[in-house]
Amino acid sequence: MKKISVADVIKFIRKGDRSREIFMINLKKPKVKTDDSSGGNYWMCSTSTISQVFKSEELNDLSEKIEILIEKKRNTPNPVSKGMYQKNIEILHNAKDLEYSELKPYFDIDYLKNPKVILELDTVPVQTIPNHVFKFIEEGVEKVGAIWIVAKKDGYKQEELAVFVYSLYQYLTLTYSKQFQVSKEYCIALDVTSSRKLSYKQALDFNHLGFVQETLALLKKFI
């Protein structure tokens, strides 16, 4: 297996043993995009706009996108597409209540490149795709942080979000730790379907990393 997305890691752990085996066999076949892909086209209408608003904090962009999606929903005869647009509309409405300033430092920040990276996490090749990577100075120390905006129909649990932030923290360590100190507080996964968020520091404080290690160890047996 060349890579597995974090969204697929979560799908895997939610299944029973027999279903996990079948799931991994299917995962090794040519890729087919699904509704649950955190970065897939199903959620792109909303996640890309929320990613934009994270950077600009221009909430009007959410309202404008909602109007565009309402029009697309009205004009499509496809019931699946109508459902997709409706779910993205609901996410964008909920995103108006997010405190975007709490998702990044109060200091001046500079945005950095955020290339896709395949990390070896306990020998499991996990693809990590942050929405934004940024640097800032805190108490004279140059630090780097990132946010990963994710979505799933039924939302992610806190311990499941820990898989995202663990991957994200390893990503920052691999890519930027020689230049900056990696921030545990601003290494964040945001689930826009439930408005839950989790930082790497919270994952440590709540002992969620045990779940991450158990998940990776189990996944490794099926690869």
Mean pLDDT of 120-128: 95
Domain locations in the chain as residue ranges: 30-99, 101-222
**pLDDT value of position 133:** 98
DSSP for 141-189? EEEEEEEEEE--TT---HHHHHHHHHHHHHHHHHHHTTTSEEEEEEEEE
Order of all β-strands in the sheet with 117-121: 4-5, 124-128, 117-121
| Rounded Cα distance, 99 and 106, in Å | 12
Q: Indicate the pLDDT class of residue 28, thresholds 50, 70 and 90.
A: confident
Q: What is the pTM of this model?
A: 0.92
Q: Indicate the pLDDT class of residue 1, thresholds 50, 70 and 90.
A: confident
| Rounded Cα distance, 5 and 10, in Å | 9
Instruction: Decide if pLDDT at 203 tops 80.
Output: yes
**pLDDT value of position 223:** 84
Neighbours of 41 (CB within 10 A): 11
Mean pLDDT of 61-87: 96
Q: Indicate the pLDDT class of residue 31, thresholds 50, 70 and 90.
A: low
Q: Indicate the pLDDT class of residue 41, thresholds 50, 70 and 90.
A: confident
Mean pLDDT of 159-176: 98
Mean pLDDT of 35-46: 66
Instruction: Decide if pLDDT at 24 tops 80.
Output: yes
